Amino acid sequence: MLSPLTKVYEQDFYAWSIQQATLIRSGRWAELDIDHLAEELEGMARSEKRELVNRLVILLAHLLKWQHQVNQRSASWRGTIREQRKRIRKLLKDNPSLKTETIMAEAIIDGYDLAITEAAIETMLEETIFPAECPYSLAELLDENFYPGVMNDE
């Protein structure tokens, strides 16, 4: 038999969330659904990291396309690269703990793997054309003036 808290959690997440917020604000700690609250907080944290990886996928795929299809470079690609950099910087500003070396390294590895697939599909090049490991440093990824294969004065 489900507890009343679990029943509300499973049947009406919105109502459960409002109920939990009310209990917290009232200081009614003993009535909280601790297990589900912890689960939801962990889910929120994973969501922020997923957002970082998703932004990196788009950025990395466009940097790879930029580097490997010189004749196809466009203002649209440049715009997408700029936008993703801004969105990543904002995400990192809002979530400073995502900036840790370990989390960023994992996010770049995860994002790069997906970016290779994306770039290969969009360019119709073989995945093996692209480096097996991300060729860009974190500093380059976030540098608004970095475009692979382009000198700073171009």
Tens digit of pLDDT for each residue in 12-46? Answer: 999 999 999 999 999 999 999 999 999 999 999 89
DSSP for 13-37, written as a single string: HHHHHHHHHHHHHHT-GGGS-HHHH
Domain ranges, residue 8: 1-32
**Do 28 and 68 fall within a single domain?**
no
The residue count for the chain: 154
Task: Kindly state whether residue 38 falls inside one of the protein's structural domains.
Answer: no
Helices 13-26 & 4-11, crossing angle to 10 degrees? 130
pTM above 0.75, yes or no: yes
Q: How many domains does the chain have?
A: 2
Q: How far apart are CA 134 and CA 115, in angstroms?
A: 10
Residues of the chain with pLDDT under 70: 1-2, 150-154
**Do 12 and 63 fall within a single domain?**
no
